Amino acid sequence: MKKHLAALCFLGLIFPALQAQITPHDLHVTQQTFTVAGPTGPEGSLPLGNGDVTLNVWVSRTGELCLLVGKADAYDENSSLLKPGLLRIGFLPAPFQSDTNIQLTFHPDESVVTGRLSDQINVRIRVDANHPVIVVETEGAMQTTATIDTWRKAATTMAETQVSDLFKNLQGADPYATITFPDTVVTTLPDHLAVFHQNIQPANDPYLINLKVQGIADFATTTGHPLQDRTFGVMAGSADFTKTTPTTLQANGTGKHTLLAACLTLHPSSGREWVAAALDTLAAFGRLSPSKSEEAHADWWRNFWNNSFVDIASTQPDDAAQVQQLSRAYTYCRYLNGAAGRGSLPIKFNGSAFSSGRPGDYDYRRWGGPGFWYQNQRLVYWPMLAQGDFDLMTAWFEMSRKALPLQLFRTKKFFGHEGAFFPETATFWGAEVTGHYGWTPFEQRKNKSAECTYITYYWQNGIEQLLMMCEFYNYTLDKEFLTKTLLPHAEAVTLFYDLHYQLDNRGKIHFGPASSLETYHVAVNPLPEIAGLRYTLTALLNLPASNLPANLKKRCQNLLKQLPELPSEGQGDQKYLLPAQTFEMKMNVENPELYAVFPYRLFGVGKPDLQTGKNTFTRRLNKWDYCWGQNAVDAALLGLTDTAARFVLNRASATQFNQSLFPAFWNQNNDWIPDVDHGGVLQLALNCMLLQCEGDEIRLLPAWPRHWDVTFKLHAPGRTTIECSYKQGKITRLEVSPPARAKDIIIPEWTKK
């Protein structure tokens, strides 16, 4: 308590102007425009999105404005996330005389792309923040045309299946062909173009076969088919355009024109129902005042940018350019999440909705379209807590909530006891991707778990997701979320760990057979499970007592008593953590022992045995830091300022996006372009360098380089926001809301000198 009072006195006496409003973020974001000159392919595209519908925008080498449309829930018969279509805007005669005449500029403040395509053509494009509608405004002396392309024109056998494709066999030939079915091109509408994909039920149904091979086909009789009759597509038209051929719209003369395009997913739906809904969507949007709808769109993004921000600049010339690039990268990463994170299904780790595939196949993704791989997915969502982007986290938690009944059913079928475990690589309905589960029929298996040893015993994500839910509640105090999502998940996960393992002769849980993440496939008493339960069960017990059921509270208390000690070696200042009590069969490049730093924050700044955490970090085997590697986050939480700074600068460097022009379309690394979990770690590490929260404490600048100036607004538990400006070694402004939380701020001594 004394340190809290001291911090409060420091705030009041030294900085009498601390309650003043800090400089708005608008100017900074306005300055973060990015321009692409000349024609490109998709690798030169710029991103737009409204949280559900996305666009990759570029000017092609054939002289057309290309808008590749993405949708968060456009899953086909194979549960592959497809691109609904390609909207092409052409100009006659072709105006492109030289590359210098072509310029597209991304404006993140308004989520708009503007363009000068020649001295005679200007364009302005947005995906409306409040409606599933793309707005393309053109102005100039050229004739404008529009078409919608689909490349899925006939049933096609996928030549190269990926790991999470539902018919993939990792041990040999695929048992069934993966067939991509054609779209429907609507040519009978008098004033509109439309392309849609309605999922049929194939003769070899990937969903039903996926459940059957896992012994859970009976579950399908109690729920609706998640893929059949899922219908998605794009429809374009407006009063400014006339249909001149069954597949072409042409602007009415020259001058100013506005083209509207709707992108919808309906489930279940017929094609006729989808067409009617798309027409209604465009008609309703067309009745709105254009100026008011654009103002409402700008307001949404203005509120988004003022909800949280991090603006950084270096006072030293040797890293000033790198730090400026890092600041831009943070802003752009958050933009990509805001532009793709409000759909009915979560952001995918391997490209989000902004993947543009590869030449000849816009739908291609490394690792495939169906799987949500928790080790990767989690890193997209952890930063959103401090950023206050709670609405972007809804789809992530909803997928877990909706999958819980299947996990309960599956656990009972596999192990004969209650509770739930969650697979590492899952479909959005919750089943394991089939390649990892393996194709041996369920009835012939002695071990009912996944055959792929990377994930046979990798059930860690149920614990981490529960912790993330606890954190979400602590930040939002959302009681409906607590009762409908968090507590059912807590009941299922804790019951699984209460029933699944035996106790040893000391009355402690014997975690075995087990693995330590994907790195050590054979382990006993893995640290991630022990640290995860210790930290997460404590978080559960710290929830409001009146909302915690008595049986759940008692189970958490008993489990805590039964947990073995964290595996470690050495004594005193020489002590360090181990991946497990025993571990072998190393196959991957994680540092499981550092899960006691993140996500389970048992060791860190201001906590006991900080030196143990630092020793463990120093001794780690896997020191690379890109993609889903979390070394930058560990360094920040341990207060290793120089190391954390070096890692985040490296993550933001130009070498990390040199396969694309846009500075946050990160290279494929271990995943795919854009590697959004690479960007997630970048954001999370910076958040932790600026702010660390534990219990009531809010630790300010715990791992911040002294020569980096920063202005930021971030969120803390208890519906708290912290706005701070740090300039030339001093905190010049600080505002805490609600003001009562100011007593919990811990300010580093070095800022007071």
What are the tens digits of pLDDT across the range 466-505?
999 999 999 999 999 999 999 999 999 999 999 999 999 9
C-alpha–C-alpha distance, residues 624 and 656, integer Å: 13
pLDDT per position as a tens digit, 315-355: 999 999 999 999 999 999 999 999 999 999 999 999 999 99
C-alpha–C-alpha distance, residues 352 and 340, integer Å: 7
CA atoms within 13 A on the CB side of 676: 28
Any bridge partners for residue 458, and if so which? none
Any bridge partners for residue 66, and if so which? 58, 88
Tokens of 97: 């005389």
pLDDT at 98: 64
What is residue 39's three-state secondary structure? coil
pLDDT at 355: 98
The answer to whether the CB of 685 falls within 8 A of the CB of 636 is yes
pLDDT at 21: 41
C-alpha–C-alpha distance, residues 578 and 588, integer Å: 16
pLDDT band at 141 (very low <50, low <70, confident <90, very high): confident
Hey, what amino acid is at 522? V
The percent of residues in the chain predicted with pLDDT above 90, rounded, is: 90
The answer to whether the CB of 92 falls within 8 A of the CB of 284 is no
Closest CA to 366 of 180, 178, 163: 163
Q: In 10 A of CB 253, how many CB atoms?
A: 9
C-alpha–C-alpha distance, residues 425 and 524, integer Å: 22
Tokens of 154: 């006939």
Which residue matches tokens 């022009």?
Answer: 661
C-alpha–C-alpha distance, residues 306 and 302, integer Å: 6
CA distances to 260, 302, 465 from 290, in Å: 11, 18, 42
More confident residue, 730 or 101: 730
pLDDT band at 8 (very low <50, low <70, confident <90, very high): very low
On the question of pLDDT at 725 being above 70, the answer is: yes
DSSP annotation of 675: B
Q: Which helix (H) or strand (E) holds 520?
A: strand 520-526
DSSP collapsed to 3 states, 659-679:
CCCCCCCCCCCCCCCCEHHHH
Give pairs for 482-487: CB < 8 Å, separation 24+: 482/543, 482/547, 483/547, 484/401, 485/397, 485/398, 485/400, 485/401, 487/547, 487/548, 487/549, 487/552
On the question of pLDDT at 22 being above 50, the answer is: no
What is residue 390's three-state secondary structure? helix
On the question of pLDDT at 3 being above 60, the answer is: no
User: Going from the N-terminus, what domains does the chain have, and what CATH number goes with each?
Assistant: 1-31+310-340+623-753 (no CATH), 34-151+183-214+225-287 (2.70.98.50)
On the question of pLDDT at 97 being above 90, the answer is: no
Tokens of 378: 């989690």
The answer to whether the CB of 264 falls within 8 A of the CB of 232 is yes
On the question of pLDDT at 233 being above 80, the answer is: yes
C-alpha–C-alpha distance, residues 637 and 691, integer Å: 9
What is residue 534's three-state secondary structure? helix
What size, in residues, is the chain?
Answer: 753
Peptide bond into 39 cis (omega under 30): no
pLDDT at 394: 97
On the question of pLDDT at 25 being above 70, the answer is: no
On the question of pLDDT at 15 being above 70, the answer is: no
pLDDT at 26: 63
What is the separation of C-alpha 289 from the centre of its chain, rounded to a whole number of angstroms?
Answer: 34
Backbone φ and ψ of 140, nearest 5°: 160, 180
Tokens of 419: 């509770």
What is the separation of C-alpha 642 from the centre of its chain, rounded to a whole number of angstroms?
Answer: 27
Which residue matches tokens 């009063």?
Answer: 239
Backbone φ and ψ of 42, nearest 5°: -55, -25
pLDDT per position as a tens digit, 525-541: 999 999 999 999 999 99
What is residue 670's three-state secondary structure? coil
pLDDT per position as a tens digit, 37-80: 999 999 999 999 999 999 999 999 888 999 999 999 999 999 99
Strands (E), 62-160: 65-71, 85-92, 103-107, 112-118, 121-127, 133-140, 143-149, 156-157
Burial of 302 (0-12, 13-18, 19+ CB in 10 A): middle
Q: Which helix (H) or strand (E) holds 53?
A: strand 53-59
Which residue matches tokens 């890092």?
Answer: 326
pLDDT at 119: 77
Any bridge partners for residue 146, and if so which? 89, 249
pLDDT per position as a tens digit, 352-371: 999 999 999 999 999 999 99
Which residue matches tokens 């456009």?
Answer: 74
Handedness of CA 312, 315, 321, 323 (dihedral sign): negative
The answer to whether the CB of 428 falls within 8 A of the CB of 75 is yes
Angle between helices 394-415 and 487-500 (to 10 degrees): 30
Closest CA to 698 of 712, 718, 678: 718
pLDDT per position as a tens digit, 681-703: 999 999 999 999 999 999 999 99
CA atoms within 13 A on the CB side of 114: 8
C-alpha–C-alpha distance, residues 321 and 146, integer Å: 41
C-alpha–C-alpha distance, residues 8 and 464, integer Å: 34
DSSP annotation of 81: B
Closest CA to 591 of 667, 514, 526: 526
On the question of pLDDT at 434 being above 60, the answer is: yes
Tokens of 328: 């831009």
pTM (predicted TM-score): 0.95
Q: What average pLDDT does range 261-278 have in this prediction?
A: 98
The percent of residues in the chain predicted with pLDDT above 70, rounded, is: 95
Q: In 10 A of CB 223, how many CB atoms?
A: 12
More confident residue, 277 or 15: 277
DSSP annotation of 75: B
The answer to whether the CB of 170 falls within 8 A of the CB of 163 is yes
The answer to whether the CB of 357 falls within 8 A of the CB of 351 is no
pLDDT at 95: 61
Which residue matches tokens 């710029």?
Answer: 46
On the question of pLDDT at 16 being above 70, the answer is: no
On the question of pLDDT at 12 being above 60, the answer is: no
Q: Write down the mean pLDDT value for the chain.
A: 94
Q: Which helix (H) or strand (E) holds 333?
A: helix 320-340
pLDDT at 268: 96
